[in-house]
Each structure stands twice: as structure tokens, then as C-alpha cells.
């Protein structure tokens, strides 16, 4: 990993193994991850483009789902993994995710002849703006630019406007970043307001109600400052699958499934709540604008004080085997 300041000066370079033997970085393109997971399922069990429009519980403990095309599904168990604007979480009484005051541009640069960068994570820190890029395959490089903004601003979908605004933020920064933005395929560039939801005990609803449960961002949206949102969604899935399989195998009555969902919520909360809070504070520190504070960060904290091992401890998670 290499950390630079906005003028291109190298502040620090680490190898993960040197800092902590248990650590490594795996950058995975979302499409590849989803296709890999989907390929494990029997053919035809996934129904695409099914937009959930309405939810209703019935007295038998089942849940009726009405899709935007008017079709209806009756679910014995409903697992809501429908992201930060989850209609299922809303129906369960969760509040809207909170905007934290930063937005991120991101994209995937494509190089048909092979991408030219070393296999390492690159961070560049400015004042109130930070950026990063990392090769995710022999031909693709993922990048992001995160910036402070008092409001999420208008939704922009035009890729040329998105790229122009992203480049404007880093116009005098190391040129490789601008080259990477220019090499980005239009359909992969986006701007996302960063949000989270703090699951205060006794204030936030539990992860499950009856036989309805939420996982991933639908339950615990967190800012991406620790790179853990999708990782936690995968961890949720492993824990939930294990508990549900046990309940369904042992006894198919309502209570064992409901107990399995409750147990999933209790096991996962101590992992996801502190991560959400920590990610928020890490983001606040990384987005500092004050020139003096940024100078201390660039000249003292990053080169001399930061130890990567303790900073990455939160990434360690060993699930029980399925
Ligand atoms: C800038 C940025 C960088 C990030 N970097 C990292 C990182 O480095 N590492 C990491 O682990 N995480 C990262 N994350 C977080 C990660 O993207 C999310 O945590 C992860 O995508 C959550 O997965 P999910 O399946 O819960 O939700 P999503 O990936 O949001 O999937 C939700 C699904 O639900 C569907 N859906 C939504 N509404 C409906 C509806 N009404 N009906 C039917 N379907 C619906 C959507 O179409 C989508 O397919 C980052 C996030 C951002 C914004």
C-alpha cells in the first residue's frame, strides 16, 4: 500500500505482510463476486428485475410481497438484502440511513491491452478530498474520490458530467489519477452520497421480526472508510445460513426459525454496530480540511505514527464452517 499527499509526495509505503502476517488485500470486482456467488445456486432460482413494491404480513406468519409488475409472492421466510434504501427495513420500522457529509465518485478503468499499475492499494490524501485506486484484475483498475459536501446534491447520471466533476476535485493531483478517470468505462462511473445507520440498542428495531430478517446494508449501512460493508454483508449471510439451516433441519415450526433469526441478530450486532461507528469516525478524520491538521497528518501521523496491524484488526473474522 502506498500513501501520497496531493502533490504526489510519498508519505508511507507498507506491505501488509510486513506489518501483520495475518493480513492481505483482495480487491474483487463486484460483478465477478456476484456472478461467482450466483453460479453456486441451482439454475433458474434467481428472478431478476423483481422490484418489490409492497409488503404485507398475513396471520399465518407468512409475508406477501407484491412486485412492481403486479405479480405476488408468498414468502415463508423473508430475507431483506435490498440495500441502503431497503423497503423491507423501512417496513420493519428502521429509520432512513443518515447522510454523513461526504460523497464518493467511483469507477472502473478498463485497459484492453493490460492495466499498467503495480498490484497495490494507492491512497492520496488532500484537504477534505481523498482518492484511491487499486488494480482489480489484469485489465481493470478500481478508483474512488471522496469529498466533503454539506448536502448530497442533485442526482447526476450523465457519465461525462460525473467524470468532469470528479476530475475537477483532483485537477492538480498526481496525473495518474486523472488518467485512470479518463480510462473509465461510462457505465461504471457513479456518485454516491455516503450514509450510515447506527443501530442503538433499544432504539433501533431488532434485525428480525417474526420470519422477516434484514442483512447487509439493509440492516447496517456503514460508510466505506474501513472497506467493510460488503465484507459484513457476506459475514451476515454465512452466519444466517448456518442458523437457518440448523432450524429448518431440526424442526420446521415457526418458533425455531424465528429463534434462528433472533440469534443471528444477537450474534451479528456486536460486530456490525462498533464497525459502523468506527467507520464514521475514521471518515471524519480522513476528511479533515484544516491545513494545519492536514500538515500534521501528512508529516507526522502517517509517516511516523500509523501502524497498519492494529488498524486492520477489525477485518479479522472467522466464521464457523457451514
Ligand atoms: C464508495 C463506496 C466504496 C465501498 N467500498 C467497499 C469496500 O472496499 N469493501 C467493502 O466490503 N464494502 C465497500 N462498500 C460497501 C458495499 O458496497 C456495500 O456494503 C455492499 O454493497 C452491501 O451489499 P448488500 O448486498 O447488502 O446491498 P447492495 O449491494 O446495495 O444490494 C442491494 C440489492 O437490492 C436490490 N434492491 C433495492 N431495492 C429493491 C427493491 N425495492 N426490490 C427489489 N430489489 C431491490 C438492489 O437492486 C441490489 O441488487 C463501499 C460502498 C461505497 C458507497
Cβ within 8 Å of residue 256, ≥6 positions away? 247, 248, 250
pLDDT at 252: 62
Ligand 1 centre to CA of 83 (Å) is: 5
pLDDT above 90 (res 100): yes
Can you name the residues that pair with 212 across neighbouring β-strands? 78, 209
CB 4 within 8 A of CB 126: no
Nearest CA to ligand 1 atom 21: 230
**Could you give phi then psi for residue 305, rounded to 5 degrees?**
-105, -35
The DSSP call for residue 204 is S
Confidence of residue 18 (pLDDT cuts 50, 70, 90): confident
CA of 218 to the centre of ligand 1 (A): 9
pLDDT digits (tens, 9 = 90+) for 146-201: 999 999 999 999 999 999 999 999 999 999 999 999 999 999 999 999 999 999 99
On whether the CB atoms of residues 65 and 55 are closer than 8 A, the answer is: yes
Mean pLDDT of 277-296: 93
Average pLDDT over residues 270-288: 94
Q: 57-85: per-residue pLDDT in tens?
A: 998 889 999 999 999 999 999 999 999 99
Alpha carbon separation from 304 to 132, 205, 267, 297 (Å, rounded)? 21, 43, 37, 10
CA-wise closest residue to 20 among 321, 318, 306:
306
Q: Which residue's alpha carbon is nearest to atom 50 within ligand 1?
A: 224
- Give 300 Cα–ligand 1 centroid separation in angstroms: 35
pLDDT for 15:
85
Taking the CA of residue 230 as reference, the ligand 1 atom at the shortest distance is: 11
Residues 6+ apart with CB under 8 A from 271: 232, 235, 317
* Residue 276 CB contacts under 8 Å (≥ 6 apart), including other chains: 196, 197, 198, 199, 220, 221, 222, 223
What is the pLDDT at residue 305? 85
3-state secondary structure of 303: helix
- The mean of the pLDDT values for the chain is 93
Give the model's pLDDT for residue 253: 64
Cα–ligand 1 centroid distance for 208 (angstroms): 20
231-270 pLDDT, tens digit each: 999 999 999 999 999 998 876 666 799 999 999 999 999 9
Could you give the domains of the chain? Answer: 2-28+98-196+290-315 (3.30.9), 47-97+197-283 (3.50.50.60)
Whole-number pLDDT of residue 254: 64
Q: In 3D, which of 92, 84, 82 has the Cα closest to residue 55? A: 92
Least confident residue range of 223-232, 233-242, 277-286, 297-306: 297-306
Which of 221, 233, 268 to mutate to test ligand 1, by most ligand atoms within 8 A of the CB atom? 233
- Residues contacting ligand 1 via CB (< 6 Å): 50-52, 81-83, 87, 104, 106, 144, 192, 216-218, 224, 227-231, 233
Nearest CA to ligand 1 atom 17: 230
Amino acid at each position: 500500500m502506498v500513501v501520497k499527499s496531493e502533490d504526489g509526495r510519498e508519505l508511507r509505503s507498507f506491505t501488509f505482510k510486513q506489518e501483520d502476517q495475518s493480513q492481505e488485500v483482495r480487491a474483487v470486482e463486484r460483478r465477478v463476486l456476484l456472478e461467482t456467488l450466483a453460479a453456486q445456486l441451482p439454475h433458474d432460482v434467481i428472478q431478476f428485475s423483481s422490484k418489490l413494491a409492497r409488503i404485507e404480513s398475513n396471520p399465518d406468519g407468512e409475508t406477501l410481497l407484491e412486485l412492481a409488475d403486479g405479480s405476488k409472492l408468498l414468502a415463508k421466510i423473508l430475507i431483506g438484502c435490498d440495500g441502503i434504501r431497503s423497503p423491507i427495513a423501512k417496513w420493519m420500522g428502521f429509520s432512513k440511513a443518515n447522510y454523513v457529509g461526504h460523497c464518493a465518485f467511483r469507477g472502473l478503468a478498463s485497459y484492453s491491452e493490460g492495466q499498467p499499475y503495480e498490484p497495490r492499494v494507492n491512497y492520496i490524501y488532500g484537504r477534505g478530498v481523498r482518492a484511491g485506486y487499486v488494480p482489480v484484475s489484469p485489465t481493470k483498475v478500481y478508483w474512488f474520490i471522496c469529498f466533503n459536501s454539506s448536502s448530497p446534491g442533485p442526482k447526476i447520471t450523465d457519465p461525462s458530467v460525473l467524470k468532469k466533476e470528479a476530475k475537477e476535485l483532483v485537477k492538480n493531483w498526481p496525473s495518474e489519477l486523472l488518467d485512470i478517470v479518463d480510462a473509465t468505462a461510462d457505465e461504471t462511473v457513479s456518485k454516491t452520497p455516503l450514509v450510515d445507520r447506527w443501530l442503538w440498542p433499544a432504539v433501533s428495531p431488532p434485525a428480525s421480526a417474526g420470519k422477516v430478517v434484514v442483512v447487509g446494508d439493509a440492516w447496517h449501512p456503514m460508510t466505506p472508510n474501513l472497506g467493510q460493508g460488503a465484507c459484513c454483508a457476506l459475514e451476515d449471510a454465512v452466519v444466517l445460513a448456518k442458523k437457518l439451516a440448523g432450524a429448518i433441519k431440526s424442526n420446521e415450526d415457526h418458533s425455531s426459525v424465528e429463534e434462528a433469526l433472533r440469534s443471528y441478530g444477537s450474534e451479528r450486532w456486536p460486530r456490525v454496530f462498533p464497525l459502523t461507528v468506527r467507520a464514521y469516525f475514521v471518515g471524519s478524520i480522513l476528511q479533515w480540511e484544516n491545513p494545519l491538521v492536514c500538515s500534521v497528518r501528512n508529516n507526522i501521523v502517517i509517516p511516523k505514527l500509523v501502524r497498519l496491524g492494529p488498524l486492520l484488526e477489525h477485518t479479522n473474522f472467522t466464521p464457523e464452517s457451514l
